[in-house]
Structure 1
């Protein structure tokens, strides 16, 4: 007999046993409500009690809970400025928890890659009725995700999102830059002479911009260009071509720090793989 059959059988037995049996069955339901209320109160009390310090550290992506206990006992962790070595110590989400002097985020780090469509704002002012990338990414996570770097409203392509402030900061100011490849469409054909100028280095904002590679896109008109750079300065691609008398009418970032658009349609996002994350952290 299935679970549903057994449940149905119990109810039928209660009706057949007369009023007393029915009364007993009714009383039997009452504790269920009390138990549910008790569980809800228990959950509420548990939440207000806080979260174990080792779990907080593990959620921040520092190490496992077991290793966190070792670091706690060794005095590597402070809570609101005081060293805590007590096992099982609980903290609140708004406490200032530091590991070796570095503030921790109790949320589990998350990393997403978006293939941004044209016409979506990344940051800054949004015109009335304008759409932002968070209209796409809003349901990706319960955590607050922020874009790493920027893409202009009319630009398309790869954009990284995370709640990992440490990684975002490192990628925002990389020591050697980040490898990026763009597919560009210009308002007119790029001359061979200007192509060579770009290869040799063009002064943009009084600084010589060195590109890793630039070439015409194979089997396409000569106003379509592939460009590889490491600079993350705002609007650097547009400024480069404007210096030479061109306007970028289409910009698509197809590679970012080793990440590609493979199997990622426009307007869709996906989580990073563990290997991709390791590669990013090693940039």
Structure 2
């Protein structure tokens, strides 16, 4: 296969103002720009049928660009909050036919990807977007993005167990801990508010299991600066202009 490179672009009269290929891939929600560079170098991208392995190539909106033999499009960036119900999985599709998070969205938003995951039985706020750079930033462990949950558990925790939750609980994949945990006196049930930045799979449920008080119900009420106020269960809303502006400030100050 003939390679597409900077010289090819110049021969095709691609203006210098056109979009760099890595940014085009990031805008399509495939990965961050840094991740797109790796995808290009691995030989997984073609432009108009020509293999691209050189960084810095610029492309036009009319170019046919494939990643892993799939056509992509650098669409307008979209940001949507969903209040996820139970029995919905956080993927774009499911081979078992289970209801996916994108099924809760109208067709023109179903190309978006969830930022992180909530397990099938966990409810609450989740962000979906096609902004690859933002997704990588929010999920990177060094950013320590805040997540707040409410958990209903089988038994009340002692003060020693509460202390253990913030000092560390030994799990099969290492020690995990909450940033904060407080008892919530909302009813006769045993409920706790939890703040955590760890992105480990099912870490809250596993920590409560480890101290002998399994989770009955788990709901995420905040992710980053976003909460689910005003979003009924199973519904969604797009970010406001103020929220988009704040995201822009966040991205500029956390690179």
* Equivalent residue number for residue 212 of structure 1: 179
* Pairwise CA distance, 1:261: 1.2
Tell me which residue corresponds to 2:215: 248
> 1:192 and 1:84, CA in 2 relative to 1: closer, same or farther beyond 3 A?
closer
CA contact (8 A) 1:117 1:266 kept: yes
Shift in Å at residue 154 of structure 1? 0.9
Contact kept, 8 Å, 1:216 with 1:222, in 2: the verdict is: no
More helix, by proportion: 1
| CA shift for structure 1 position 171 | 2.2
Q: Equivalences for 1:37-52 in 2 at 5 Å?
A: none
1:117 aligned to 2:85? yes
Work out which structure has the larger RCO, using CA pairs closer than 8 Å and 6 or more positions apart in sequence: 2
Contact persistence 1:259–1:276 (CA under 8 A): no
Alignment deviations for residues 187-218 of structure 1 (CA, whole Å, 9 cap, x no partner): 22223331122132222235332322101113
How far apart are the structure 2 equivalents of 1:235 and 1:226?
A: 16
The answer to whether the 8 A contact 1:177-1:232 is kept is: no
Given candidates 136, 139, 142, the residue that maps to 2:107 is: 139
TM-score after normalising by structure 2: 0.68
**When the two structures are aligned, how many residues end up with a matched partner?**
206
Cα deviation, 1:120-172, whole Å, max 9, x if unaligned, reads 11139858553111110243527x21111111111100111111122222223
Deviation for aligned residue 1:94: 2.4
Do residues 275 (structure 1) and 245 (structure 2) align?
yes
Cα 1:231–1:135 change in 2 (3 A) is same
Task: Provide closer, same or farther for how the CA distance between residues 95 and 121 of structure 1 changes in structure 2, counting only shifts above 3 A.
Answer: closer
Please, which runs of 5 or more residues in structure 1 have no aligned partner? Answer: 1-50, 63-78, 97-103
Separation of aligned partners in 1, 2:214 and 2:187: 18
How far did 1:267 drift?
Answer: 1.1
Q: Any gaps of 5 or more consecutive residues in structure 2?
A: 1-13, 28-46, 67-71
TM-score by length of 1: 0.62
Equivalence for 1:154:
121
Within 5 A, what are the aligned runs for 1:229-244? 229-244=196-211
Residue number in structure 2 paired with 1:180: 147
SS of 1:264 mapped into structure 2: coil
Q: 1:177 to 1:249 in 2, by over 3 A?
A: same
RMSD across aligned positions (CA): 3.4
CA positional deviation for 1:223: 1.4
Paired with 2:127 and 2:62, the residues of 1 have a C-alpha distance of 29
Q: Which has the larger radius of gyration?
A: 1
